[in-house]
Structure 1
Amino acid sequence: MAKDNKKSKLKQKLTDKYRLVILNEDTFQERFSLKLSRLNVFVLGGVFSIILITLTTLLIAFTSLREYIPGYSSTELKRKATRLTYESDSLKTKLAILENYAKAIKPVLTGEIEPEDIDSVQAESQKKRIDESKLNATKTDSLFREQVEDDDLFLFTNGANDKANIVFFAPVTGSITQKFDAVEKHYAIDIVAKTDTPVKAVADGTVIFAEWTAETGYVIMVQHSSEFVSVYKHNGNLLKNQGDFVKSGEVIASVGSTGELTTGPHLHFELWNNGYPVNPVNYIDFE
């Protein structure tokens, strides 16, 4: 009975009604009144606390304020870390080259290998003097040289297969802002598209590269038949990994604007054949 009385008293305390009244201090006129109970105050306080905690969490998670919290790294810091990683790899490569050079030249400096006799080398070179008069090009030689230089100027297009044995699928459709220009060494075309637009494989093949680069952001490369390789740069994210097999028209990435050399949301698309860059417009209809 005592327990029941305690429970009833506790329930009575929680459910007892109270009135909150706001009065005019001079006239004592009632301006505002509100009925409350202890239970209502606890419930409202709990709901308000949950909402406040949720809003604070969302504010930190989806805004730049999280960069001021210990443990979070800024986007600029990630970019610098990536660039420093590539620079350190380059320094390691240069250091390895210098070490190999030092090992190669060390026997000469320490006397383990005797240098060749300079006088004998000079004598041998005098015996092999070249008649400079024979080096003057004739008119026929000059014309032939000009023809060869013109042919070699665009060797990357003549050396590639002009006719593909496979049918290519457009990676994205849209307007081309920068065309293939061999003179400017822009061996690709830039296609403007909205962010997160699906990027599709131009043909069946195997992913041979899918990584982040500092200059061109997320890059994916696919090896196709007939010695074709397609390259997709500045992607927002990658949906395939190295070694994955993809079908023609399968989504492999999304349009983005990543990398230091990007100029906005677009796809930088390259097509290579037998090691030479070719104009993708000759093989694919992008409109």
Structure 2
Amino acid sequence: MVFRDEENFEKLRTIRFNFAKIVVVLTGFVLLIFIPSYFLAKAIADYQISTSENPQARLFKLMEKSDSLEAIVAEQNAYYENLKQILGGEIPKNEISEDSSETTINSEDLDLEQIDSIDLAFRKQFEKEDSKTKGLRTSKSELQQVLFFSPISGIVTNKYNSASSHFGVDVVAPKNEVIKAAADGTVILSSWTQDSGHTLAIQHKHQLVSFYKHNSVLLKKVGETVKAGDPVAVIGNSGELTDGPHLHFELWYEGNPVNPQDFISF
């Protein structure tokens, strides 16, 4: 840029510009204008927001906070007062009724609909478990009247344990020992399973089912009727869930497992 005298057009001054200088000058100019404008606009906006809030709303919020603080202080005071009385050997008032020892509750006056839902669920679960226990006692008394035949004579190496899902007994006997039916009935299963190997099941009266597992040979087919003491299988070591030749024997009554040793002597 060249500056000249207006009268004789004499060159007074020359200023040289390049692209970098132009960028620096423009950037400085923009920042000089933008930064003060930004802070000024922010201050005005904050002021408008603070002044536009309803004074009644602000007062209501302050009252709410005050009430909350008063409630907290009252609770703390009551707690410390009761604590002082207890430490001093006193019993806080209104904690024990004077005639509480004479108070009785009539179970007939209780309204089950008003009992807490959690308590009611607990009661139902307790009654359910109690009914199961009563049913088990009844089933055992009925099974005691059934004449069972020992399916095999040997040594019980693993007893019935429902907690570990072992719903029968493991009986070790000599090799090729014949297994006999525990009672009269009809064969409902005579097959092979991966876990139990050659397995046989007999349906008896009174909703009773007996299982014979890990056999080497099955002597009966599905649908055949058997009498107590009839040969039904030969002891073996078949299936994956076995660690040696033995008979795994189970008794199920009304869909529930029972301990065979409660009714049969092996």
TM-score for both structures, normalised by structure 1: 0.48
| Structure 1 position 217 matched with structure 2 position 166 | no
Question: Whole-Å Cα distance in 2 between the matches of residues 268 and 218 of structure 1?
Answer: 11
Paired letter, 2:199: V
Offset at residue 187 of structure 1 (A): 0.9
Question: Whole-Å Cα distance in 1 between the matches of residues 133 and 246 of structure 2?
Answer: 27
Offset at residue 160 of structure 1 (A): 3.4
Equivalent position of 1:200 in the other structure: 180
Q: Give the share of equivalent positions with the same residue, in percent.
A: 39
Equivalent position of 1:148 in the other structure: 127
Question: Whole-Å Cα distance in 1 between the matches of residues 250 and 159 of structure 2?
Answer: 11
Paired letter, 2:136: T
Equivalent position of 1:157 in the other structure: 136
Equivalent position of 1:182 in the other structure: 162
Q: What whole-Å deviation, never above 9, does each CA across 1:100-136 have from its counterpart, x for those lacking one?
A: xxxxxxxxxxxxxxxxxxxxxxxxxxxxxxxxx9856
For the residue of structure 2 that corresponds to 1:183, the secondary structure is helix
| Structure 1 position 251 matched with structure 2 position 231 | yes
Equivalent position of 1:238 in the other structure: 218
For the residue of structure 1 that corresponds to 2:171, the secondary structure is strand
Query: Do the aligned residues in 2 keep the contact of 1:156 with 1:277 (CA within 8 Å)?
Result: no
| Structure 1 position 172 matched with structure 2 position 157 | no
Equivalent position of 2:207 in the other structure: 227
Q: Call closer, same or farther: CA 1:159–1:275 in 2, change over 3 Å.
A: farther
Equivalent position of 1:260 in the other structure: 240
Gaps of 5+ in 2: 1-113
Question: Whole-Å Cα distance in 1 between the matches of residues 196 and 209 of structure 2?
Answer: 17
Gaps of 5+ in 1: 1-132
Q: What whole-Å deviation, never above 9, does each CA across 1:167-221 have from its counterpart, x for those lacking one?
A: 0000011111111111112110111112211000011111011001111100000
TM superposition outliers: structure 1 runs of 4+ over 4 Å: 133-136, 152-156
Q: Map 1:58-77; keep pairs closer than 5 Å.
A: none
Q: Call closer, same or farther: CA 1:155–1:220 in 2, change over 3 Å.
A: farther
Equivalent position of 1:277 in the other structure: 257
Equivalent position of 1:124 in the other structure: none
Question: Whole-Å Cα distance in 1 between the matches of residues 186 and 117 of structure 2?
Answer: 53
RMSD of aligned alpha carbons = 2.5
Query: Do the aligned residues in 2 keep the contact of 1:195 with 1:236 (CA within 8 Å)?
Result: no
Q: Call closer, same or farther: CA 1:136–1:212 in 2, change over 3 Å.
A: closer
Offset at residue 147 of structure 1 (A): 3.3
Question: Whole-Å Cα distance in 1 between the matches of residues 152 and 224 of structure 2?
Answer: 21
Q: Matched residue pairs, number?
A: 152
Offset at residue 149 of structure 1 (A): 6.5
Paired letter, 1:247: K
Offset at residue 225 of structure 1 (A): 1.2
Question: Whole-Å Cα distance in 2 between the matches of residues 142 and 219 of structure 1?
Answer: 41
Question: Whole-Å Cα distance in 2 between the matches of residues 190 and 157 of structure 1?
Answer: 23
Offset at residue 151 of structure 1 (A): 3.1
Paired letter, 1:173: S
Question: Whole-Å Cα distance in 2 between the matches of residues 167 and 134 of structure 1?
Answer: 48
Offset at residue 285 of structure 1 (A): 1.0
Q: Call closer, same or farther: CA 1:153–1:269 in 2, change over 3 Å.
A: same
Query: Do the aligned residues in 2 keep the contact of 1:199 with 1:252 (CA within 8 Å)?
Result: yes
Question: Whole-Å Cα distance in 2 between the matches of residues 179 and 201 of structure 1?
Answer: 20
TM-score for both structures, normalised by structure 2: 0.51
Offset at residue 230 of structure 1 (A): 0.6
Equivalent position of 1:56 in the other structure: none
